[in-house]
Structures are given as structure tokens and as C-alpha cells.
């Protein structure tokens, strides 16, 4: 990065920052923006740009007109993200920062540390502000980021769908924590076998709640309760959301018929698929254009 460009950009942002109240700029209580983002049921991930691990001391410092939306989970370290609007967000160990598409910012590092990042595109245009989310159960989020990074790095069959599945899981986990407050990591661990099974096989069409509960060695009633506490929605709704996301991707390729998309997304009945798709997306599969 050219030093003159960095200094000019930094000066511009800092001058904008001086117009704002210092306490407001350093306030990391972003609950309004978090709620606005995670409770937007229209969020549709159209593309995973990259899912990577950024080693300590690496990574771009200055960002102008960011090309995609991004989430970054910092495993350690201490940084300030200074945005062109004058907003400054402090990011520390286990924090997750959302960086909107089109945003300008630079990163001031006080203590280096590793982080995971998932950059993505959305079908719709958003005007969300950047925010920091401090998870009560960071292990669940870190596992999702790790799984997405591994899928992207190894690029095995279906890796894009797997990355999207993990990203939607992050959205859902954020929503779950926002809805129900802190849920002990023990609860997530209880249903982890089911989460992994869903991630690997959601499009197979053979998953059932009784089987998932059995996999976790708990009753069906308790499994439903824990799952809803962790993710903020039922197991069936969670699985169907993943199936619908895959169906949208397949439809956009224009390579498959509606019947083929229904089967490839894990729906055994095309009528049920069409009803669920229209309920979730607002148009029928044959009308969907992204």
C-alpha cells in the first residue's frame, strides 16, 4: 500500500471522526444494527467470495469502497476499525465484526492476532451500518468459521453450499443469542452431532427430528427445545432454510428443471417444494430470477 494514499485516507477519516462525540465513536453497543441484520428474513447470500484464515500480522490495512460484505471473527488481538463515517469499532478476542459492502475504513492494530473472515455478496442491497457482535458462546461461532474456511480451502464437491450453510448458521446463531440471551456452550455441545449431520446431509432429504435427537442421545422434546434455544428456530425450519438457499442457487444456473432442483435440494415432493419456496421467497420456483 502506497504510504501517501494511506496517510491521505487516514487523515480524511480522522477529520470526519473529530466531528462526532468521542464516547459515541467508541461505543461498541451495536445491538440495534445487529438486530436489524440478523432479523432480516430476506437476507439471501448470492455468492461466497472467500472464506479464509488471516494469520496475525497479515491482512489489508486500508479498504476503499469495499467490494463485498464481510464477517471477521478475531481469535485474539486488539484492533480499532475506523470507518469513513467517523465510526470507530473496537474489536478484541472472540469479537465478530460486520463490514458492509461499499464501506471505507482502515484498521489500527494495538495487538496482533489471528482471525477468520468470510466475504460474501447478497442478492439485495443493504444500507446496514458496521457493527461488532460479542458472542456469549464463541466456540460455536469459531467452529462455523473454521468449517467454512476448511470447505473453501479444500474445495471438495459442494464446498460452496457448505460455506453458505456455515454462514447462514452464523446468522442464525447471532439471532438465537439475540433472542434468548446467553445460552451455555454445553447446550450447543449437546446438539453438535445433529448440527454436523445437518451440515453434511441437509440436501439428502433423509433427516428427521427423531433421528437427530437419537444421534444426540436426548429425547425429541428436549432436542427441539435446545435447538430452538441455540438457533432461534425449529430444526425443520433450519433445515428447510438451507434447502431453499441451495434451491435458489440451482435455479439461478438455469441448468435444471424445477423438478430436478426440488430433488437436488432434498425435497421429495415437488408440490411441497413449490409451496415452501414461495412461502420463503415470495415467488414460485419457476418465477425466481434472483
In a domain, 191, yes or no: no
In a domain, 23, yes or no: yes
Please state, in angstroms and rounded to a whole number, the distance separating the CA atoms of residues 68 and 145.
17
In a domain, 175, yes or no: no
In a domain, 129, yes or no: yes
pLDDT at 173 (0 to 100): 86
Dump pLDDT digits (tens) for 176-189.
Answer: 777 655 445 567 77
In a domain, 275, yes or no: no
Please state, in angstroms and rounded to a whole number, the distance separating the CA atoms of residues 107 and 172.
27
| pTM (predicted TM-score) | 0.55
CATH code of the domain containing 110: 2.60.120.10
Which residue range is the domain that position 77 belongs to? Answer: 14-135
In a domain, 188, yes or no: no
Residue 270 phi, psi dihedral angles, 5° rounding: -65, -30
Of 65, 63, 71, the C-alpha closest to 45 is 71
38 vs 206 pLDDT, higher one: 206
Q: What is the mean pLDDT of the chain?
A: 82
pLDDT at 57 (0 to 100): 78
Distances (CA, A) of 289 to 26, 68, 77, 250, 262: 42, 21, 42, 11, 16
Please state, in angstroms and rounded to a whole number, the distance separating the CA atoms of residues 119 and 61.
16
In a domain, 90, yes or no: yes
In a domain, 66, yes or no: yes
What burial class does residue 176 get, using C-beta atoms within 10 Å of its C-beta: 0-12 exposed, 13-18 middle, 19+ buried?
Answer: buried
Mean pLDDT of 60-81: 92
At 212, list the grid cell: 437427530
Dump pLDDT digits (tens) for 259-290.
Answer: 999 999 988 889 999 999 998 888 999 898 76
Of 212, 188, 42, 202, the C-alpha closest to 126 is 42
Number of structural domains the chain divides into: 1
CB 236 within 8 A of CB 209: yes
CB 228 within 8 A of CB 140: no
Dump pLDDT digits (tens) for 27-40.
Answer: 334 555 676 676 66
At 274, list the grid cell: 413449490
Amino acid at each position: 500500500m502506497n504510504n501517501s494514499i494511506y496517510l491521505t485516507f487516514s487523515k480524511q477519516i480522522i477529520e470526519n471522526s473529530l466531528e462526532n462525540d468521542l464516547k459515541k465513536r467508541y461505543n461498541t453497543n451495536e445491538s440495534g444494527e445487529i438486530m436489524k441484520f440478523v432479523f432480516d428474513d430476506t437476507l439471501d447470500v448470492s455468492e461466497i467470495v472467500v472464506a479464509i484464515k488471516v494469520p496475525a500480522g497479515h491482512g489489508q490495512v486500508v479498504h476503499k469502497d469495499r467490494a463485498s460484505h464481510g464477517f471477521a471473527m478475531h481469535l485474539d488481538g486488539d484492533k480499532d476499525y475506523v470507518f469513513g463515517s467517523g465510526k470507530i469499532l473496537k474489536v478484541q478476542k472472540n469479537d465478530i465484526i460486520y463490514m458492509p459492502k461499499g464501506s471505507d475504513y482502515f484498521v489500527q492494530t494495538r495487538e496482533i492476532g489471528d482471525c477468520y473472515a468470510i466475504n460474501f455478496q447478497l442478492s439485495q442491497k443493504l444500507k446496514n451500518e458496521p457493527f461488532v457482535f460479542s458472542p456469549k458462546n464463541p466456540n460455536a461461532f469459531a467452529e462455523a468459521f473454521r468449517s467454512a474456511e476448511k470447505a473453501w480451502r479444500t474445495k471438495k464437491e459442494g464446498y460452496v453450499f457448505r460455506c453458505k450453510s456455515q454462514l447462514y448458521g452464523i446468522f442464525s446463531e447471532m439471532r438465537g443469542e439475540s433472542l434468548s440471551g446467553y445460552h451455555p456452550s454445553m447446550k450447543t455441545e449437546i446438539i453438535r452431532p445433529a448440527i454436523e449431520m445437518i451440515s453434511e446431509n441437509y440436501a439428502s432429504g433423509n433427516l428427521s427430528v427423531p433421528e437427530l435427537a437419537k444421534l444426540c442421545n436426548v429425547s425429541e422434546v428436549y432436542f427441539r427445545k435446545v435447538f430452538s434455544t441455540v438457533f432461534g428456530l425449529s430444526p425443520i425450519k433450519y433445515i428447510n432454510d438451507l434447502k431453499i438457499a441451495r434451491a435458489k442457487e440451482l435455479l439461478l444456473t438455469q441448468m435444471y428443471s424445477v423438478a430436478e432442483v426440488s430433488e437436488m435440494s432434498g425435497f421429495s415432493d415437488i408440490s411441497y417444494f413449490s409451496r415452501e419456496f414461495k412461502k420463503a421467497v415470495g415467488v414460485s420456483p419457476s418465477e425466481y430470477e434472483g
